[in-house]
Chain A
Amino acid sequence: MPKNKKVEYLINFVGILAVFGILVFFLDTGILGKQVNYIRGIVTIALLTIIMVTSLNLTTGFMGEFSLGHAGFMSIGAYSSSIVTLALADSNIPNMLLFIIAIIVGAVVTAIMGFLVGIPALRLKGDYLAIVTVAVAEIVRVAFCNFAITGGGKTLSGIKKLSDVHYVYVVMIICVVIMYMFIRSRFGRAVKAIREDYIAASSSGINVTNYKVMTFTISAMFAGVAGAIYAHYMTAMIPNTFSFMKSSEYLTMVILGGSGSFTGSIIGASVLSALPELLRDFASYRMLMYSVVLVLVMIFRPGGIFGTYEFSLIRVLKKVFGKNKGGADNE
């Protein structure tokens, strides 16, 4: 590993720890008083939304294919993990381990589903993935409404509350880092090349279908992780939560933040998931506001607020301390 990269990773790690410290400071020292549980909830939802939006960005922003059923994959993760943790409820597995099991189950099951959906849909060129994902999400929703094991249309409840905000933060960081490392490697390069021109990509020796299915599977997998977190935070859910509206909400966040930018996804997700909570009184106007903002962004910044820009802690530090060595991009 080149030495300057080592330093960069170290600085970023410190940055991540610092944010964690701020989180602990606000949530655990009682500085927020009675509201702390409410805030903790908002933060948890924001964190899992970050995973959702970043993973959707892999498909939409980096690969350039529309997925309109991401909430469907989230529900697969949510239900599969809940079924497993409900079955394990009486065993004496510690909560943290159970949480990890839930996430792994959610990730694996959803990845398999994503793989199965991706193989036929991504062989075709064009907007087929969008249509297929809408259909799959709908099928999943209706199926979960009818299976006895998923509650059969009634609320599936009694799920253990495992999604502690600290764990969720760690999981979020791991997920985003994995996706970031994926994009900043030969795999990500190939995926971006496919987005730019799939004919040229295949003429450069890239197996277009393979890379697309790979990316879509990873994208679905992390939606499953977010689903598992969601289920074990809410402790009860109905399939209708994961409707088309939910999917389009995530897509809005991707597009607003900037398709092809991790920074955009992270900020888009945190702001847009926390905002409606903070502006509770206007919550019913949320979708209206979304559409207005979306139209404005489309007119003035077609690439999203951040475009493909990535925030770099190193660059900021260099600017602050006036060392201009020419910065490499990093999160």
Chain B
Amino acid sequence: MSKEAPVLQAKNLGIQFGGLKAVNNFDIEIGKSELVGLIGPNGAGKTTVFNLLTGVYQPTEGTFFLNGEKMNGKLTHQVVAAGIARTFQNIRLFKKLSVIENVKVAFNKNMKYSMVSAILRTRKFWKEEEEIDKKARELLALFHMEHLADNIAENLPYGQQRKLEIARALATDMKLLLLDEPAAGMNPTETGELLEAINLIREKFNISILLIEHDMSLVMNICERIVVIDYGEIIAKGTPEEVSKNPKVIAAYLGE
């Protein structure tokens, strides 16, 4: 792990809903192209951490930085613009739009043609649209989905929808990808494909990933480091081996 400014650095991050501290004292550092797992029992606050990191919730305590840039107080679309993209636990695609349009929507923030340009169909419009079309198809090809480009998103099988969601997140051109239970509801073959896809995008895009997952085989397999939270607090950190032997973690999962 490099010692330059980490891609993501959260310091003392916390949020309170009324009297409930959903997340408390959350510290994390993710280096360049690192893959970190975030695990914990149900209701531990994992998704809340994601919501904090993407600006859906504003933290009531602490701060977090992306490449040294302070991200507190930014709205979701500003966080995405800065370079944090995510997928959702329960897939959120633009269901009635075609597969390729789903990806193109995420390219929108890098497109520059104006409304006048769009209405008059100027050369700039065509150039950018063609460029985006090409990029979107390339991205789909990476997931072996280019032949599905014109299908309606909601008609895709479950595994493909998951992959499309990741493709869409990649289209935002981010530095940190947050994956919220990408393998949930998948069969072993689909999980295998997903694993392949994750490895591929890490190689290709050189990005950092923070992963929430319940599928332990997946987590142990691909994560370099794991952070375990329970009741909103970090109870263990370390390599997969260290974490799996940690008595606190075993207690949290199995009870004492």
A residues engaging B (CB < 8 A)? 1-2, 5, 9, 177-178, 181-182, 185-187, 189-190, 192-193, 196-197, 199-208, 214, 308
Bound state CA distance, A200 and B101, in angstroms?
13
B81 to A205, Cβ gap below 8 A? yes
Q: Which of A182, A201, A202, A207 contacts B115 (CB 8 A)?
A: A182
A203-B85, A207-B77, A208-B77 known; A186 vs B92 contact (CB < 8 Å): no
Q: Which of A181, A196, A207 contacts B121 (CB 8 A)?
A: A181
B residues engaging A (CB < 8 A)? 54, 56, 75-77, 80-81, 85-86, 88, 92-97, 101-102, 104-106, 108-109, 111, 113, 115, 118-121, 123, 125-126, 128-130, 132, 168-169, 171-172
Q: What is the minimal beta-carbon distance from B3 to any residue of chain A, in angstroms? A: 30
Q: Could you write out 20 A-B pairs with CB less than 8 Å apart?
A: A177-B119, A181-B118, A181-B121, A182-B115, A185-B113, A185-B125, A186-B104, A186-B111, A189-B101, A192-B97, A193-B94, A193-B97, A196-B94, A197-B94, A200-B92, A201-B105, A204-B109, A205-B77, A205-B106, A206-B108
B108 to A205, Cβ gap below 8 A? yes
Q: What is the minimal beta-carbon distance from B99 to any residue of chain A, in angstroms? A: 13
Question: What residues on A are CB-neighbors of B108 within 8 Å?
Answer: 186, 189-190, 204-206
Question: What residues on A are CB-neighbors of B169 within 8 Å?
Answer: 203-204
Bound state CA distance, A208 and B94, in angstroms?
14
Residue of A nearest to B165 (CB): A200
Residue of A nearest to B82 (CB): A205
A196 to B95, Cβ gap below 8 A? yes
A1-B126, A178-B119, A207-B77 known; A201 vs B85 contact (CB < 8 Å): no
A178-B119, A181-B118, A182-B119 known; A204 vs B80 contact (CB < 8 Å): yes
Residue of A nearest to B81 (CB): A205
A189-B104, A193-B94 known; A206 vs B109 contact (CB < 8 Å): yes
Bound state CA distance, A189 and B93, in angstroms?
13
Bound state CA distance, A5 and B127, in angstroms?
13
A197 to B126, Cβ gap below 8 A? no
- Closest 4 pairs (CB-CB, A-B): A185-B118, A205-B109, A196-B94, A205-B80
Residue of B nearest to A188 (CB): B118
Question: What residues on A are CB-neighbors of B109 within 8 Å?
Answer: 204-206
Question: What residues on B are CB-neighbors of A9 within 8 Å?
Answer: 121
Question: What residues on B are CB-neighbors of A204 within 8 Å?
Answer: 80, 85, 105-106, 108-109, 168-169, 171-172
Q: What is the minimal beta-carbon distance from B84 to any residue of chain A, in angstroms? A: 9
Residue of B nearest to A197 (CB): B92
Question: What residues on B are CB-neighbors of A208 within 8 Å?
Answer: 77
Q: Which of A187, A192, A197, A207 contacts B93 (CB 8 A)?
A: A197
Q: What is the minimal beta-carbon distance from B201 to any residue of chain A, in angstroms? A: 17
Residue of A nearest to B101 (CB): A189
Q: What is the minimal beta-carbon distance from A9 to any residue of chain B, in angstroms? A: 8
Q: What is the minimal beta-carbon distance from A276 to any residue of chain B, in angstroms? A: 33
Q: What is the minimal beta-carbon distance from A312 to any residue of chain B, in angstroms? A: 15
B105 to A182, Cβ gap below 8 A? no
Question: What residues on A are CB-neighbors of B77 within 8 Å?
Answer: 202, 205-208
A192 to B106, Cβ gap below 8 A? no
Question: What residues on A are CB-neighbors of B85 within 8 Å?
Answer: 203-205
Q: Which of A2, A201, A205, A308 contacts B126 (CB 8 A)?
A: A2
A2-B126, A200-B92, A200-B94 known; A182 vs B118 contact (CB < 8 Å): yes
Question: What residues on A are CB-neighbors of B93 within 8 Å?
Answer: 196-197, 200
Residue of A nearest to B104 (CB): A189
Q: What is the minimal beta-carbon distance from A189 to any residue of chain B, in angstroms? A: 5
Bound state CA distance, A116 and B171, in angstroms?
33
Bound state CA distance, A190 and B130, in angstroms?
17
A190 to B105, Cβ gap below 8 A? yes
Q: Which of A187, A193, A308 contacts B118 (CB 8 A)?
A: A187
Question: What residues on B are CB-neighbors of A202 within 8 Å?
Answer: 75-77, 80
A203 to B80, Cβ gap below 8 A? yes
A1 to B121, Cβ gap below 8 A? yes
Bound state CA distance, A178 and B121, in angstroms?
10
B123 to A1, Cβ gap below 8 A? yes
Question: What residues on A are CB-neighbors of B111 within 8 Å?
Answer: 186
B92 to A199, Cβ gap below 8 A? yes
Residue of B nearest to A181 (CB): B119
